[in-house]
Structure 1
Amino acid sequence: MIAVNRKVIYAAIFCFVSFAVNAQIDAHYWTHQYGAKGLLLNGAVIASSDDETAIFYNPACMGQGNNLGFVFSFLTPTYSSLETTNFTGNGSSFKDEDLGFSPGFAAVRIKPFKTDKIILGVASFQRLSSNISYKDRTVLPVENFYEIFYLADVEFKRELSQEWLGVGLSYNIMDNLGVGISQYSIWHDESLQFDFKKEILLTEDPETLALGWRSDFGYGINAYGGWLTKLGFIWGADNFKLGLTYTSPSYGFIHKSASYNFDEERITATDIQVQSNQKDTPLHRYKTPASFGLGFEYRFDDLTVSFSTEYFKDLKEYTLFEETDDPYEGLAGSGFEKSILVST
C-alpha cells in the first residue's frame, strides 16, 4: 500500500476548492518461479527443490541433489499479476494479469571441499518484474447545465523491478538431515506516474474551454546494495520430506534515492494558475517483510504430492520520502511551498 499525500486543487463547475488528498495504493503480485520443478509445481518446492534453484527456494536442499552443475533458465512461461487498488478513490482497482515469460535464472553448485556434506552455490535472477498501466476517458453531460459538458482523461502507470544476487551454503548433518543459508544482495527500482485532466467545455463550441484542471504527478525510488538472509532446514524419512525456511527483512542498503515531479494547471474564465516542480530527494527507507516457509513432499507408488506455504510478516506503514519545497526557490516570495509525502 502506498499513500500519496499532497495538496491539490479540485475543479468544481464554477469554482476551485483547495483540500488535502490522501490516496492509497495496495499492490499485490505473484512473484516468479524458476526451474522446471518450480514452474511445474508453482513454487511448491520448499521440501523438494533438489537442483540449483534450491539456493532460492530452500538453501538446505542444495546438498540433497547429486547432479551438481550450472543451470540457466530463460523464456520459460509463467503467470504474473499486479494489482493496485484505492489510488483514484476508495474501491478503484487496476489489475494487470499476464501469461508471459519468466525472467532468467542462472545458478551453479559446487563442492568446495572433498566432502559431500558441504555444497556451495551462487545465483543471479530477477525476483520482481511487473508493471501495470491504465488509460480511460469519460465524457458526461452536466446535470441542469445543458450548455456545457464534462470531459476527463486519466492515465496511470506503475512499475516494479528487483534483482537478487546471492551465494548459498548447505551442510548435510546426516544423509536425510541438512541446514543451509543464502545471503542475497538486492537491487530495487520502483516508479509511479499518475496524470489526469478535467475540463468543462461548451456544448455549442467544444473547442472552447470554460474550466480546466490538469494534474500530473509521479515519483521513482531506488534502493541498491541491500542485504537479505535466508535460512533453510530439510529432513526426510522414507517417502516423506519436510522443509522449513526463514527469510529476513532487507537491511543495509548502500544507496537509496528518490525523485518526484508534479505539474498542475488550473483554468477559469478569468484566471490561469500553474505550478510545477521536479526534484531528487533522499529515500528515508525501503523495507521488505520477514517470512516463514513450510513445505512437505510425500511419495507413494508413482504419485508425488508437494505442498508449500509461506507467511509474510506485516509491515507497519512507513514513509518512503517526505519533503516540503519551494519550486520557485524563493524568487516569488514566501507561501508557495509544496509538501510531498509518499508512504507504504
Structure 2
Amino acid sequence: MKRIIIIGAGPAGLACGIWLRRLGHDPLIIEKGRVGGMLHSIHGRIPDYLGRMSQNGSELANHFIEHARELSLRIETGIEAIRIGQGELTVHRMNAQNLNASYPQMEENILEHEKSATDRNYDYIENLSFDACLLATGLRKKRLAIAGAENQQILYTSAGFNFSEKDVLIIGGGDGAFENAMKIPHTARRVLVAFRSKLRARPDFVREAQSKGVEFIKGCTPMRIEQGGHPDEKIKFIYEMNTAIMSLSVDCILVKIGFEPCSIQGPDCSQAGYVVVNQEMQTSMKGVWAAGDVISPEYPSISLATGQASVAAKSMERYLRNISV
C-alpha cells in the first residue's frame, strides 16, 4: 500500500481522502485543530453548497465528518505540518493522546489554532515519509499589525462575546465585516465599520447595515490602539484620515480584514503566499499536490475546494500507478 498524507481536514482534505478511499487507497489525514477546519468559523447560513442546505459551517462540517466516518478515513488531530521535503514531511505533534481516528473536536479557542509554531507547546517533532502528499491547509485570519493589537479587547470572532450596551468598532470592508455589522446592532449601543477605501462587501449587506444604523468610517488607516488605565475602560483607536490623526473610543474592536494562505515551507508559492499548481493540482515538488483555499486567491469556496480535491486525487492515483511499475 502506498503512503499518502493529506495535510488539512477541511473540505479539500476530506474530499480528497474520500476520493482516494474510493480509488482503493488508505490515506492519512493530519489536522492541527478541528476536523472541518475553517468551516467552524462560518456562523451564517450556507445556502449555495449543492445538495446540502446548512445553517452554519459547523453543521456542514459535521455532515462531512459523518461521510468520512462511513468510509473509515484515518484522521489524526493535534499535528501541524512544518516543512515538506522530497518524500518526507516534518510535523509537530501536540499531544500523543489525540492520535486516533475518532475525529476529536478540539474545543480550544479558534485563535489558538492560528498561532505560529514557535508559540505552541508541542510534544515532539517527527518526520513522516510519503509516496504522495496533498497540501490542503486553507486560510487563516489576518491579524491586525499595529501597536496595541494584542489587547484582550481586540476580537477576531464575534462568537460567544456579549456586545450588549457596548460601543463596537469593526475593522474591514468585506463581507465578513458587514455580516457581523448586521448581526451586532440589536444588542450593542453603537456599531461602526472602519475601512481604508473602496468597500468590497456585497451591496445588499451594506444597505442592510445602513438600515440598522451602522456608522461608516471611510478612508481610515489604522495606526495604533491605546488601552485605558483599567481593563474595563474604553480603548482608543488611533487612525489617519485625509492626513489628519483621529481618535475613537470604543469598548471593543472586531477585526475582519480578510484571510491569508496557510502555506508551509516546501513547494513554490506566489508573492502573496498561495501555493502554485498546474491543472492537475501538482505543485513544484514531485509527489506533492495542493487543493482548496491555499491555492485559490481569487474565488475561494467550498465547492471549488472539493472539486480541486477530486482532480488532485485522480492525478495522485495516476502518479502512484506509474511509480509502481
Q: Provide the TM-score with structure 2 as the length reference.
A: 0.23
Greater fraction of residues in strand: 1
Higher relative contact order (CA 8 A, sep 6+): 2
